[in-house]
Structure 1
C-alpha cells in the first residue's frame, strides 16, 4: 500500500500513483516477452488496469498526452487480457477440473486443451508484436515524459483530503445503482429451474456488475491510506462481489470454449464435468445471494456513504531539527 506523500496535494498523489504502476508495468515487460512464467503477464496486466484506474480517479487534476489517456491504456490492457484469459482457462481446467474427472473424460478434455494451447500461441504472438510496436513505444515515451514534467489542472494543488468524498462518492453511486444487484433478488430461495433460466438470460448484466465492482475496488484501493478499518472491510466486501460473480462467469466461459472446441454435444462426452459446472454455479449463487442482500440493505448502504465522507485526519508532519 502506498504511503501518502507529505504534501498530500491532489497532484502529488496522482504523480506518485502513476509512477508506481508504470514502474510495475515495466518490471514485467521482459518476462512477458520471454514467456517465462504466466504470472509475469498477470502482473503486467494488473499494472495496466491499475494505471487506468489511477488516470480515471485523478482525471480532474491531470492534463495527459493522447498515448496516456485512460481510453488508450484500456486498449493496451485488453491486448494483454486476451492472452491472460487463455492462461486462466488452461490453469482452471488443469488444476481445478482434470483431477475430478474419470479417465475417459480426461482424454476428451485433453483434446480441447490442445486447441486452447494453439489459441494461446496466437495470442502470445500478438502480445509480443504489441510490446515491440511503435504504439507501445509511444505509450512509454509519453508516460516517462509526463512523469518528468507533469501537466496539471488548477485543482491539482488542492489538499486531497478536502475532495476525497467528492472523488469516491460518484464511483460508489455508480456501483450501488447498477441493475445487476436486482438480478434474481428474492426473499425466497430460487428453484433450480429458475436459476438455470437466470444464468441463461441475465449473465451479461451480472458480468457488467462484476466490472463495476472491479472499477470501484481499484479506485478505492488508491485512497485506502486515507481511511481506517471500516473502509478496509468495505473494500473486502466489494472484492468478494467481484470474486463470486467471477466464479459464476468463469464456468460459463469454460463451457462456451468447450462447445466451440468439441461441438454442441460436448455435454454428452463430458457429463461429469458438466455436472461439476452445474453444482458449482448453484453453490456459488447461494453464497452470492447473502452478499446481494447485504448490499441492498438500507443501513449498510448508508454506512458505505458515511465511511467515504470521513477520511482520517492527517497526522502533523514532523519538523526537522535545526540543532547540530
Structure 2
C-alpha cells in the first residue's frame, strides 16, 4: 500500500522516516550556527558548523536514493534535471553547495587548530632547565609569537571568505531548498523499506570497502600469506614511512570518518556491540588525526621559517618525535585487528 510522504516522514520504522529526521536534525544544526560563526567570538562555532556540514553531506550520500529534493535552479535545462534525478534524488548542485561550505569553513578551522596548538605551547610553563636551555626556549617563544602573528593575519583573510559564503545568494538558496523539503518532503520507493533491515544493508557495503583500503597496509610485511605490522620501527624509519605513505593514512582517516557518521545515524537501531564499533572508529580516527596534525603543523613551519625549523624550534620537534612512536604503536594495535578482518573478508569473497 502506498503511503503519503507525510506519513513516511513521521514513521520511526521506515527508512524514509529515519532519513527525514536525520536530514532535519543535521540541516537545522548547520543553519542555526550561521549567526555564531559570523559573530566570530568563539572558534568552536566554526568547528561545529564544519562538522555539521560533513554530517549533512554524509546523510545526503547515504539517503540519495531514498529522498528527492527539488532543484530550485531555474536556469538548469530540463534534460539536466532529468539526468540529475536519474542518478540521485538530490540535485548535484545542492551537494556541491554543502561541500563548498565545508571546504571554506575547513580552511579557517585548520588555522584555528594550529593557532590554538601554538598558543598552548607558548603558555606551557618553563621546564626549569639549565640557563642555556632557558635562553633557547626564549628564542623559540619569539619564533612562535611571530608565527602566531602570521596565522592570525592569514585567518582574517580566510574568514572573509566564510562571511562571503554565508551571505551570498547560494547560501540563501541552500537554506530555502532544505526548509522547503522539510515542509513538503518527497521520497523515492526505497523510503518504505523497514529501517533496521535497510540500515544493515547500507552500512555493510561501506565497511566492506573500508577493509580494502590500502591505508591498512602501510608499514606492514607479508610472510606465508599473512600480513602484519612491522614491529620495532625506530623513529627514523617511522618518519621515512610517514613521508612516503602518510597520504594513504590520511585518506583512510577520512573514509573512517564518513562511515562513522553514517553509522551514528543508525545507532538507535542496533545493540551495544554496534555502539562499541562506532567508538572504536572514533578512536582510530583520533590517532590518525594526531599524526596528520603533526604533518600539517610541520609543513606550516617549513613554509614559514624553512626546512631547518627543527633547529629553530627544538623543543617542539622533540615533543613531536617523542609522541610519534607512541601514537604509531597505539595505531598498530588497531591495524593488527583490521588486517585480520581484511584477510577474512578476502577469503570469504
Instruction: Pick the TM interval, shorter chain.
Output: 0.7 to 0.9
Q: Does structure 1 residue 218 correspond to structure 2 residue 243?
A: no
Structure 1 position 5, deviation (Å): 6.0
- Render the CA deviation track for 1:29-57: whole Å, top value 9, x for unaligned: 10111101111111111111111111111
Alignment map for 1:25-64 (pairs within 5 Å): 25-64=30-69
- Render the CA deviation track for 1:238-283: whole Å, top value 9, x for unaligned: 1111100000010110011111111222222111111111112111
Contact 1:67–1:138, Cα closer than 8 Å, also in 2: no
Match for residue 132 of structure 2? none
- CA RMSD of the aligned region, Å? 2.1
TM-score (norm 1): 0.87
- Render the CA deviation track for 1:178-226: whole Å, top value 9, x for unaligned: 0000101225222323211101111100100000110110010000000
Alignment map for 1:1-324 (pairs within 5 Å): 6-64=11-69, 65=71, 66=91, 69-96=94-121, 99=124, 102-185=137-220, 186-298=229-341
- Render the CA deviation track for 1:286-317: whole Å, top value 9, x for unaligned: 11111111222249978xx9xxxxxxxxxxxx
Contact 1:48–1:77, Cα closer than 8 Å, also in 2: yes
CA 1:285 to 1:257, structure 2 compared with 1: closer, same or farther past 3 Å? same
SS at match of 2:124: helix
Q: Following the alignment from structure 1 to structure 2, what is the Cα–Cα distance between the partners of residues 33 and 229?
A: 39
Contact 2:214–2:248, Cα closer than 8 Å, also in 1: yes
Count of matched residue pairs? 300
Contact 2:30–2:53, Cα closer than 8 Å, also in 1: yes
Greater displacement, 185-194 / 76-85: 185-194
Contact 1:98–1:106, Cα closer than 8 Å, also in 2: no
Q: Following the alignment from structure 1 to structure 2, what is the Cα–Cα distance between the partners of residues 106 and 114?
A: 12
CA 1:225 to 1:5, structure 2 compared with 1: closer, same or farther past 3 Å? farther
Q: Following the alignment from structure 2 to structure 1, what is the Cα–Cα distance between the partners of residues 101 and 209?
A: 25
Structure 1 position 69, deviation (Å): 3.8
What are the ranges of 5 or more consecutive residues in structure 1 without an aligned counterpart? 306-324
Structure 1 position 160, deviation (Å): 1.2
